[in-house]
Structure 1
Amino acid sequence: MTQKVYNSGTGRFADGLTKAGARIEHYAQHATAFALANQVYENQKMAVKMADSLKNEGINKMSMYGTFFLLQGLYNSNQGVLARQIMSNPSDYTGSRTWANMMYNTGATLTTEAWDSTIKSNMSYSHAWGSAPGTWLIQGLFGIKPTEPGWNEAEIKLQPGGVESASVSVPTTKGKISADYKIEEDGTITLQMKIPSNMKMKIIIPGTEGQTLRINGTETEVAYNTEGYLETTLYGGSYLITGGQSAIDNSELKECQNIVYRSCGKDWSAYETDGGTTGKSQPLHKIQMRLNQIDGNVKYSVHVNSKGWLGWAKNGELAGSSGMAKRLEAIEIKVVPKGENIDRGRNAYYSKEQTLNTE
């Protein structure tokens, strides 16, 4: 699969293959996210590049349901910072795909069916689809999960991701696991744990090669893996573990403010960073985009009902159709350096009277 649909230059997976076996040159965020979730990568370096490609898109574009698998993939590939940003990013931009937006801006007190009402106007305000953090705070941030049936063996793999302290209690068939950690000012981790008496637990803590851990006051040599973690194994009991190293990263994902656009259903909207037709019950037929306060070219291609993907438009040119009742179904956007050749392929714009790139 990595040979067929992975683009090693960008770190992204394509959506699939044509009947002839050629790679489809369209890269939805979902394709890379699901590959990460299912550990479809050859090594940690490749996983990091895939995660970076997701971060470079600026915001989460997944559905609420799909974001469960996005978080799974990020924690699988040791990208706890990005996972935490997606869960906690406090952007007040309407439509943001974060739980902070859900709680701050929709007034929800339970997880909702969609990110907010601009995406689904009749959404439920109590829906299991939105409960992904309930899983990934335990299995991702704390990394507590069984590694053998019946919890005979388990592991805790801390990925704080900028959360300076947290505690959790996890019921299992062997008894309750409790964990409480704090990142000290120098980055050292203090972890208090209680492990059920009949359980074997692998402890995995961020650290650097050559470091030791102090366990209940005793300096203890531990293994180091090449992914940047210290490892040791403990059995049932209460433990105070200190050591390792975890950087504090409280940064936020940023919404894209460098592209402005306007779109047309029945009427044109204004050029804005959110230049859509929300609340007007109008399918979009055409769109124009341009860059805001940065150098380069913005190119964009739209998928039109019954016509498929059109060619590339750039820098304010029209993309879509006019007078043909063909709605836009998807859009791909790329920012490229000035002077870079843009292979337009098919026409980017169709009208009832003629086939042109301008109107």
Structure 2
Amino acid sequence: MKYSRFVVGITLFLVADTLALANETLATIARPQLDANVEAERDSFLSRGYTPLFNGKDLSGWRNPYSHGEASVVDGEIHLKADNKFFLVTEQKYSNFRLSVDIHLPEGPSNSGVMFRCHVDEDAEKKVYGYQAECDGSERRWSGGLFDEARRRWIWPSTKGRSTTQFRAHEEESQKFFAEPRVRDALNRNGWNRYTITCIDDVITIELNGVQTVRFRDAMDSSGFIGIQHHGEKGQTYRFRNLFIKELPLIPASEHVSLTEQEPVSIKRINDKVTLIDFGKVAFGNIVMPVPADGRGTVNVHFGEKIKEGCIDRSPPGTVRYGMTSVRRGQQRGNWIVPTPVDDRNIQQSGRMNANPPAVLTPSAWQPVMPFRWIEIEGLEADFAFDQICRRAAFSKTWNDDASSFECSDETLNRIWDLCKYSIKATTFAGVYVDGDRERIPYEADAYLNQLSHYSTDDHVTMAARTFDWLMENGTWPTEWAPHMVFMAHAEWMNSGDTKWLQQRYESLKSKTLLHRSGDDGLVRSDELDRSRHDIVDWPQKERDGFVFTEINTVVNAFHIEALKQMAEMAMAVGKTEDADAFAARAELAVAAFQKTLFDEETGIYRDGVGTEHSSIHANFFPLAFGLVPEDKQAGVVDWLATKGMDCSVYAAQYFMDALFQNGGEHKALALMLADGDRSWKHMVNSGTTITWEAWEMKYKPNQDWNHAWGAAPANLLPRHVLGVQPVRPGWKRVLVRPCPGDLKFARGKVPSKHGPIHVDWNCESGFKLSVDLPEGVTANLDLPELEGAESVSVNGSAVSVTKKQNRWVLDGEFSGSILVEAN
């Protein structure tokens, strides 16, 4: 009996110890861990556009306005010692910025913080006053809170006796927020803590170790100094490192985009006052035109994306663009640059919509731009030199029209390719990927789809990595958009092979996996607010195929698991083997629960979530696209999806098509892309548009715009699946060539890679022939469609062995150089 109690006791001890270790491991991969290597951190910040506030050697640029307090530099850190409270402050003032500071509190009673937009009054007793991001070492745990030093005191959270009346209104709400475990436990009490503070106009945001603790509007101060605090505990040393700032706004187009002058395609005099000029395709820009030599009055320039009855549609639907600019004739010489009208939403840095990050600005030297194809000139005589009017169109400086090509036996598919490729080019105007012209804001899902297509169409792509950095600092609200950041990083690494770039960003990705919302079974939970707002499934809402939202959501968990799998792969690449094992184990746990709780054995497909019997196509094609469907269940899911139409948005269609192409459903995928009706790319291209739309039609999203690159998925689907070229090793060191012909007779094209173009030409009119030209340094695995009647496969005239996998023939070995494959 005593022995049994002893064994039980030991067992319970071991179980508790194992659980503690598991929780510790989970905490390590659930949020960013700060690197102890100061030089590595410095390189990381510099690579993301930050400027050091501290050079690591001395206190240049800093001053102590007090007669007490000691500041010194020790091993690349700033150490503060004092018997009374004091602040070390910068000599320079800052207005709009993103600031990062690491703080290490001493043991025992301690309190510190980061002052920002603060002020110094040399004659006052409390010399430094203003905004402070709180670092609270007490049991109160309000670290990351917003405090107004020597003025209004606690702003968020607020409390009786220590907050002014205006902030007491949210006392209960704010204290409840700071009691939430993720916020309450954000501070690493006995280690380093990263504070990230963003100020844009009157919007103040504070993040602590990757957890947002404050987003608050306050207009008390618009500029001031940066400061760090010693709270005054005698004998205590406060340590600070990695002090970096990025002044805002950034204007990526200044360095990465140029204006190209384009001549008119056609000029037509509509009546005795108006001339219509067509530039052939929509582009973001404005115009330059000769100044009339004489005359008085006003010339009106109308810009439009849409034509109606031979004239520019001046009342277009949704956010299809129209605008007019008036210019006065006078005694000028030379050329007018005629700017487009300014849409305030496209330039807002702190708009009224609290969820929106700042809009991406274009250079002021350009003058305003907008998307348009046509202009109407009103008020110029018929003999004016209209042929000398040019559009100044904005495109990426490095865009290469010759980097890619695609042609196949279906002419409509060729037109779809041309439309989608140009859509990617035309939407490079801002220097980062933005959501068309409604807000000019990057969104994570939009950016990922844009990124995939940019890699498939251009050969010098830096915009994807730049957009990734922008979004890591300006994230948006949907649940599934966060894992897209993991996808973006993985795709950039696969394309560039730049492990150093990945290493500098790896830790920050941990906050994007949704691990903080997962339970003991590994599955993500969605509370009431998540289900009503954050969990997006598809957009707009009417494109969700009747999806039923529950606490455990199939789509959200599919994204979560895919993010974990990619994190495991990237952790291994940057040498974080323990992280890699932990991510892989967590993914395995979640996959088991996913299959057990969400798959309906009776119907052979997935339910939308736990607690509903409804099965949408989204609950099935997302798991299929992410490789979550067990091999013995795949055919059933594919067959069920083959009975469905395009019951999803142009965004989700990327994943729907991926799922079909990857799992033997290429006939269905091509049929959907080319379908009659208004839910296909055939409809889009037949409409006459020259840039893809945000939705299939206006009736599905009445406020849609007509210049949205997330509608351009065929720009990557056709090279990746019909030509069949995808990287399987970072930096395109090894590729998979896996053509999916469907009903097509032939396809040929050029796919960009880091090492040069990959040429593919296949024909299945008589047997199957595949020609592949690989650049030096690239090897390929070959995967062919199984052909009826074919008995053997040869490469460059020599027979090769193959392995049959489902309805494909996988050629054994790797190949390089010029390859001719024949199946007969």
Range into which the TM-score falls when normalised by the shorter chain: 0.5 to 0.7
Mapped to 1, the partners of 2:747 and 2:809 lie a distance apart of 19
In structure 2, the residue matched to 1:26 is 614
Asked if 2 retains the 8 angstrom alpha-carbon contact of 1:193 and 1:238, the reply is: yes
Q: Which of 621, 638, 659 matches 1:73?
A: 659
Q: Distance in 2 between matches of 1:36 and 1:116?
A: 27
Q: Deviations over 1:190-209 (max 9, x none)?
A: 11110112111001111269
Amino acid at match of 2:737: I
Q: Which residue of 2 aligns with 1:51?
A: 638
In structure 2, the partner of 1:88 is 674
**C-alpha separation in 2, matches of 1:49 and 1:190:** 31
1:201 aligns with 2:785: no
Corresponding residue for 2:299? none
Equivalent of residue 136 in structure 1, options 699, 717, 725? 717
Rg larger in structure: 2
What residue identity is the alignment partner of 1:2?
Q
Q: Which residue of 2 aligns with 1:36?
A: 624
Of 150, 153, 156, 2:731 maps to: 150
Instruction: For CA contacts below 8 A with separation 6 or more, give which structure has more relative contact order.
Output: 2
Alignment match, 1:21? none
Q: Distance in 1 between matches of 2:602 and 2:683?
A: 33
Query: Deviations 1:118-172 (Å, cap 9, x if unpaired)?
Result: 2123422221111111111122223211111111111101111111111121111
> CA–CA distance in 2 between the matches of 1:78 and 1:11?
17
Counterpart AA for 1:166: A
Residues 84, 161 of structure 1: 8 Å contact kept? yes
1:127 aligns with 2:714: no
The 1:196/1:39 distance shift into structure 2, 3 A limit, reads same
**Aligned pair in 2 of structure 1 residues 183, 148: CA closer, same or farther (>3 Å)?**
same
The answer to which structure has the higher helix fraction is 2
Paired position in structure 1 for 2:819:
239
Distance 1:52 1:221 in 2: 30
* Corresponding residue for residue 809 of structure 2: 229
Q: Deviations over 1:293-340 (max 9, x none)?
A: xxxxxxxxxxxxxxxxxxxxxxxxxxxxxxxxxxxxxxxxxxxxxxxx
Matched to 2:650, the amino acid is M
For 2:770 and 2:595, the matched residues in 1 are separated by: 38
2:793 corresponds in structure 1 to: 213
Taking the TM superposition and a 5 Å limit, the aligned residue runs for 1:1-359 are 1-18=594-611, 24-43=612-631, 45-57=632-644, 59-89=645-675, 91=676, 93=677, 96-104=678-686, 106-185=687-766, 188-207=767-786, 211-243=791-823
1:32–1:130 Cα change, 3 Å: same
User: Any idea what SS the aligned residue of 2:778 has?
Assistant: strand
SS of 1:229's equivalent in the other structure is strand
Name the aligned partner's letter for residue 680 of structure 2: T
Report the TM-score when normalising by structure 2.
0.27
Q: Secondary structure at the match of 2:719?
A: helix
Instruction: Tell me if the contact between 1:200 and 1:233 (Cα under 8 Å) persists in the aligned partners.
Output: no
Give every structure 1 segment of 4 or more consecutive aligned residues whose post-TM-superposition deviation is greater than 6 Å: none
Post-superposition CA distance 1:167-197 (Å, at most 9, x none): 1211111222110111124xx1111110112
The answer (yes or no) to whether the contact 2:660–2:669 under 8 Å persists in 1 is yes
Query: Compared with structure 1, are the counterparts of its residues 10 and 79 closer, same or farther at alpha carbon in structure 2 (3 Å cutoff)?
Result: same
Aligned 8 A contact 2:642 2:665 in 1? no
What is the letter of the counterpart of residue 670 of structure 2? Answer: R
Which structure has greater strand proportion? 1
Render the CA deviation track for 1:22-57: whole Å, top value 9, x for unaligned. Answer: xx11112111111111111110x4112111111223
- Looking at structure 2, the residues matched to 66 and 14 of structure 1 have their Cα atoms a distance apart, in angstroms, of 17
Deviation at 1:109, TM superposition (A): 2.4
- Within 2, Cα distance between the matches of 1:85 and 1:160? 12
Q: 5+ unaligned residues in a row in structure 2: which ranges?
A: 1-593
State the distance in 2 between where 1:141 and 1:6 align: 30
Distance 2:711 2:626 in 1: 20
Q: Partners of 1:116 and 1:208 in 2: how far apart? A: 38
Preserved CA contact (<8 Å) 1:39 1:76: no
Counterpart of 1:14 in structure 2: which amino acid?
R
> Aligned-pair distance for 1:227?
4.1
CA shift at 1:84, angstroms? 1.0
> CA separation in 2, counterparts of 1:198 and 1:235?
11
Structure 2 Cα separation of the partners of residues 171 and 65 of structure 1: 23
Which one-letter code corresponds to 2:601 in the other structure?
Answer: S
Aligned partners of 1:11, 1:63: CA distance in 2, in Å? 24
Residue in 2 that maps onto 1:260: none
Aligned-pair CA distance for 1:62? 0.6
Identity of aligned residues (%): 26
What amino acid does structure 2 have at the position aligned with 1:39?
A: G
CA apart distance, 1:17: 1.1
Q: State how far apart, in whole Å, the 1-side matches of 2:787 and 2:615 are.
A: 35
